[in-house]
Amino acid sequence: MKFLFYALSLASAITIGFAGSIVQRTFLRSIAAIVLIIVGIIAGLQPPIVGTFRDALQEALSNGAPVTVLIPQGGATLVNDTSLICTDYAGGKVTCITRHSTDVAAQSQRTRLLLRGRFTTHDHVLVQSVTPAPAVMLPHIPSLGEKVRIMYFHVPLAWVGFLAFTVTMLFSLRYLRWGEITDDTIAHSSAVVGTLFTVLAYLSGAIWAKFNWGKFFNWDARELSVLLLLAIYAAYFILRANVPAPARYRMAAVYAIIASIAALFLVFIVPRVTVSLHPGSKDDVNIGPMLSPEQSALDLTKAAVFSIMLAGFTLLYAWLLSMRARLDILGQRLIGHKT
C-alpha cells in the first residue's frame, strides 16, 4: 500500500512539474509546490511521535529518549486505585502505575490516549503524563526518536537530487539527437538544481549523523559515494566553464550521460553491496524505515507524510529548474548571455 502512495505521489508530481514544457511558466506547478511543501512541513514537524511499550522498553534499555505510547480507545483497564492494565496499539500489555488510574480508565473509554512514563521493571510503567491523542500521529522508529522527522526532508532531497541528474541525462540525449540549445540549457539548469539538492541532502545527513552515529563524517559508503557524485558534477561545471561554445554543448552532453551512469552506480549499487551505516547495506537485513515491508498501525500516516514531501520537493525542483532554465534562455536570446 505504501509503495502505491510513493508511486502515485511521484507520478503526479512529475506530471504536474513537467506538464507542457519546463520552459513555460505554469500556475499549477508553483501553487502545487507551495501547498505540498507547507502541508509536508506541518505534517512532518507537528504531530507527536508515538510508539509501543516494546519500543519504550527498548529505548529505556539502551538509554535512549523516552517514548510516548499510544493507547487505543478502551485500552486501559482498571485494576485498583493505583494501577491499570494498558494495551498499546500493537497489542502489547503492561501494568501502568498512576495515582489517577480511575480517571485514566474512564478517559480511555472515551478516546485514544498518549501515555508517557518510565519503565520500573520490564512489565511495569510509572506513568508521568496521560493526554488525549490527536488525529495525526507519526510512528516511532527505533533509535531515531524525534530525529526521525529529519527523514521526511533528507530522503526526498536525496531523491530529487538523483531525479535532477536523470533529467540532465535525458535533456543531454535530446541535445545530441536534435541539437537544440534549449535542451542543453535545461540539462545544465537541472544539474545546478540537482547539485543544490544533493548538497543540502548531504549536509542535513551530516548533522543527523553527528547526533545518531557520533560524527559528521563516518567514512560510510553512502557518504563517500555521494561525495564522489558531487565531485563528478563539479567536474561537469568546470568542463562547461572552460570549453568554448559550440564544442562545449556536445562535450557537456556526452559527459552528463556518462556521469548519470556513474550516478546510478553510486546511488543505488555501491551503498547496497558494501558495509555501511545506512539502512539497506550489505550487512543489514533492514532496508530502511521507508522501504521496509514490515507493517505497523501508523505505517500509512508515515507513508502519506513522506509521499507529500516527496511530491512537494519534486515540484519545488521542477519550479526552480523552470525558473533557472527560463532565465538562461532569456539571457541567451536577448544579449547572448553565456551560461
Applying CB under 8 A, the residues found at the interface with other proteins are 41, 45, 65, 145-147, 149-150, 153-154, 157, 193, 196, 199-200, 203-204, 207-208, 210-211, 316, 320, 323-324, 327, 330-331, 334-335, 337
Q: Which is nearer to other proteins, 150 or 227 (CB)?
A: 150
Cα–Cα distance between 45 and 58 in angstroms, integer?
Answer: 24
Smallest gap, in angstroms, from Cβ of residue 21 to other proteins? 19
Q: Which is nearer to other proteins, 101 or 319 (CB)?
A: 319
Smallest gap, in angstroms, from Cβ of residue 140 to other proteins? 13
C-alpha cell at position 59: 529505548
| Residue 221: φ, ψ to 5° | -60, -40
Smallest gap, in angstroms, from Cβ of residue 324 to other proteins? 6
Q: Residue 141's CB: how many other CB atoms inside 10 A?
A: 19
| Residue 262: φ, ψ to 5° | -65, -40
Smallest gap, in angstroms, from Cβ of residue 35 to other proteins? 16
Q: Which is nearer to other proteins, 12 or 204 (CB)?
A: 204
Whether residue 87 contacts residue 79, with contact meaning beta carbons closer than 8 Å, is answered with no
Whether residue 151 contacts residue 289, with contact meaning beta carbons closer than 8 Å, is answered with yes
Sheet containing 76-80: give its strands across.
Answer: 76-80, 83-87, 93-97, 124-132, 113-121, 68-71, 49-51, 138-139
Q: Which is nearer to other proteins, 8 or 207 (CB)?
A: 207
Q: Which is nearer to other proteins, 77 or 143 (CB)?
A: 143
Q: Which is nearer to other proteins, 41 or 254 (CB)?
A: 41
Smallest gap, in angstroms, from Cβ of residue 10 to other proteins? 20
Crossing angle for the helix pair 27-45 and 2-17, nearest 10 degrees?
A: 150
Q: Which is nearer to other proteins, 124 or 147 (CB)?
A: 147
Q: Which is nearer to other proteins, 182 or 189 (CB)?
A: 189
62 burial (CB, 10 Å; 0-12 / 13-18 / 19+) is exposed
Smallest gap, in angstroms, from Cβ of residue 147 to other proteins? 5
Smallest gap, in angstroms, from Cβ of residue 263 to other proteins? 20
SS3 131: strand
Q: Which is nearer to other proteins, 276 or 322 (CB)?
A: 322
| Closest-CA residue to 97 (of 79, 70, 72) | 79
Query: Residue 93 contacts by C-beta under 8 Å, 6 or more apart in sequence?
Result: 53, 85, 86, 87, 123
Smallest gap, in angstroms, from Cβ of residue 204 to other proteins? 5
Taking CB atoms within 8 Å and a gap of at least 24, the contacts of 284-292 are 289/141, 289/144, 289/148, 289/151, 290/151, 290/155
Smallest gap, in angstroms, from Cβ of residue 163 to other proteins? 16
SS3 156: helix
